[in-house]
């Protein structure tokens, strides 16, 4: 068995069968010479037949036992795969002694794949919970803005309208109208800002390049970071799902720049290479370690960007070095226009 352990499964089965056949042939020759072809006393069938039957039984038992030992790891692997596919996340294939190298690698590959899937599922579950929490926080933020801004402005406008109803002169009405107009204008502008945050109309009307340019103007008005913009490659319209995914990736990357990068400047660049579109957001800010435990546990933004890109067969590449900046690169295959 130690000699056969280095052979592949196929050659071990051939070797066992050959050895068993050779042993049976030698045994049959001995029975023939000693009990069947005896020249003086004649054939001793009453002895030869039981001996041949016993030899066949021993040979079959040997072949069955050795084949069972050889194929047991395969059956174990099959059972583990079926159990894992049925939802038993703890199912793993055992390593057996005297297993050939190919089967050992196959068992190791399955176990590693199962461990990776379990780890990814746990991470996906954790990230999904964080995404839901982030969505709820965003809803609360929008609700607060609607209540504090639009709600209060509209309440004030209603009170002003009641005053107008009871005004005793045209001059009083004229004095109150400018303040009312300003209040309603502020409310309208606030609602438009919320609408642009949720879904910029310029993205649907003019495309991704125009939406990014408009967003950059707003970004530079509220942050000290200067943006170097080169997105002419996006002027050509592309499928709507690819445009919105890339815009959301751009938004998330710029939010991260504003919150964490502490960068004086950021470069937003787009390029096309055949059917592949590449959008990069690079800053020379604080940077971070992508493999750190903190990023793995709290990197909801990076997780969200990668998941969005996966919906359009895209990929996300993150390059960052602490103290030297970060590059977020999104690549999306473009198969046709909008």
The model scores a pTM over 0.75? no
pLDDT tens per residue, the chain (338 residues)?
555 555 555 566 667 677 777 777 777 767 676 666 655 666 666 666 776 677 677 777 777 777 777 777 887 888 888 888 888 888 888 877 766 677 788 888 988 998 988 888 877 777 666 666 666 776 777 777 777 777 777 888 888 888 888 877 888 888 888 888 888 888 887 777 777 667 777 888 888 999 899 889 888 888 889 999 999 999 888 888 888 889 989 988 998 888 888 888 999 999 998 889 999 999 988 888 766 655 554 456 787 888 888 888 899 999 988 888 899 999 999 865 55
Q: What is the DSSP letter of 94?
A: P
302 shares a domain with 219: yes
Q: Last residue of some domain: 33, 68, 99?
A: 99
CATH at 279: 3.30.565.10
311 shares a domain with 214: yes
How far is CA 69 from each of CA 72, 89, 92, 170, rounded to the nearest angstrom?
5, 27, 19, 104
User: From CA 246, how far away is CA 233, in angstroms rounded?
Assistant: 13
230 shares a domain with 190: no
Q: What is the DSSP letter of 276?
A: E
Residue 117, helix vs strand vs coil: helix
188 shares a domain with 69: no
Residue 104 lies in a domain: no
User: From CA 215, how far away is CA 330, in angstroms rounded?
Assistant: 18
CA nearest to 309, candidates 290, 326, 332: 332
Residue 273 lies in a domain: yes
pLDDT of 3 reads 53
259 shares a domain with 153: no
Task: Give the number of domains in the chain.
Answer: 3
209 shares a domain with 327: yes
Q: What is the span of the domain harbouring residue 178?
A: 143-197
**Is 272 buried (19+), middle (13-18) or exposed (0-12) by CB count in 10 A?**
middle
Please name the residues in contact with 160: beta carbons below 8 A apart, sequence gap of 6 or more. Answer: 176, 179, 180, 183
CA angle 309, 312, 314 (to 5 degrees): 50
User: From CA 202, how far away is CA 67, in angstroms rounded?
Assistant: 70
209 shares a domain with 290: yes
Please name the residues in contact with 83: beta carbons below 8 A apart, sequence gap of 6 or more. Answer: 91
- Do residues 317 and 331 make contact, with C-beta atoms less than 8 angstroms apart? yes
Residue 170 lies in a domain: yes
CA nearest to 235, candidates 217, 258, 218, 213: 213
Positive or negative: CA dihedral 171, 176, 179, 184: negative
CA angle 249, 190, 162 (to 5 degrees): 160
User: From CA 213, how far away is CA 99, in angstroms rounded?
Assistant: 62
Q: Last residue of some domain: 178, 197, 216?
A: 197
- Do residues 173 and 167 make contact, with C-beta atoms less than 8 angstroms apart? yes
Residue 173 lies in a domain: yes
Residue 75 lies in a domain: yes
285 shares a domain with 267: yes
258 shares a domain with 185: no
154 shares a domain with 78: no
Q: Last residue of some domain: 164, 181, 197?
A: 197
Helix (H) or strand (E) holding 103: helix 101-145
Residue 127 lies in a domain: no
User: From CA 158, how far away is CA 152, in angstroms rounded?
Assistant: 10
249 shares a domain with 191: no
299 shares a domain with 205: yes
Residue 129 lies in a domain: no
Residue 21 lies in a domain: yes
């Amino acid at each position: 068995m130690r000699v056969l352990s280095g052979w592949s499964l196929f050659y071990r089965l051939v070797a066992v069968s050959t050895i068993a056949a050779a042993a049976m042939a030698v045994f049959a020759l001995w029975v023939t010479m000693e009990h069947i072809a005896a020249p003086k006393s004649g054939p001793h069938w009453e002895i030869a037949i039981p001996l041949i039957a016993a030899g066949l039984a021993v040979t079959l038992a040997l072949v069955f036992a050795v084949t069972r030992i050889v194929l047991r790891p395969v059956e174990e692997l099959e059972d583990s795969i079926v159990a894992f596919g049925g939802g038993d996340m703890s199912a793993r294939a055992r390593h057996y002694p005297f297993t050939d190298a190919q089967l050992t690698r196959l068992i190791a590959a399955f176990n590693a794949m199962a461990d990776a899937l379990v780890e990814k599922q746990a991470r996906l579950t954790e990230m999904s919970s964080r995404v839901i929490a982030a969505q709820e926080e965003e809803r609360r933020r929008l609700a607060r803005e609607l209540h504090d801004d639009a709600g209060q402005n509209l309440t004030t406008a209603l009170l002003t309208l009641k005053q107008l109803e009871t005004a005793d002169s045209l001059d009083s009405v004229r004095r109150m109208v400018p303040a009312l107009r300003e209040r309603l204008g502020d409310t309208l502008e606030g609602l438009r800002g919320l609408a642009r945050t949720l879904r910029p109309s310029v993205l649907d009307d003019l495309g991704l390049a125009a939406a990014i340019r408009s967003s950059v103007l707003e970004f530079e008005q509220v942050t000290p970071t200067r943006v170097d913009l080169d997105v002419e490659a996006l002027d050509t319209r592309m499928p709507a799902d690819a445009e919105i995914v890339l815009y959301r990736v751009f938004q998330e990357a710029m939010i991260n720049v504003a919150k964490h990068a502490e960068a004086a400047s950021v470069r937003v660049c787009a390029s096309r290479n055949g059917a592949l579109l590449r959008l990069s957001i690079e800053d020379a800010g604080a940077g971070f370690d992508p493999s750190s435990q903190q990023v793995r546990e709290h990197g909801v933004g990076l997780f969200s960007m990668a998941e969005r890109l996966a919906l359009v067969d895209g990929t996300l590449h993150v390059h960052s070095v602490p103290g030297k900046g970060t590059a977020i690169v999104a690549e999306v295959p473009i198969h046709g226009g909008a």
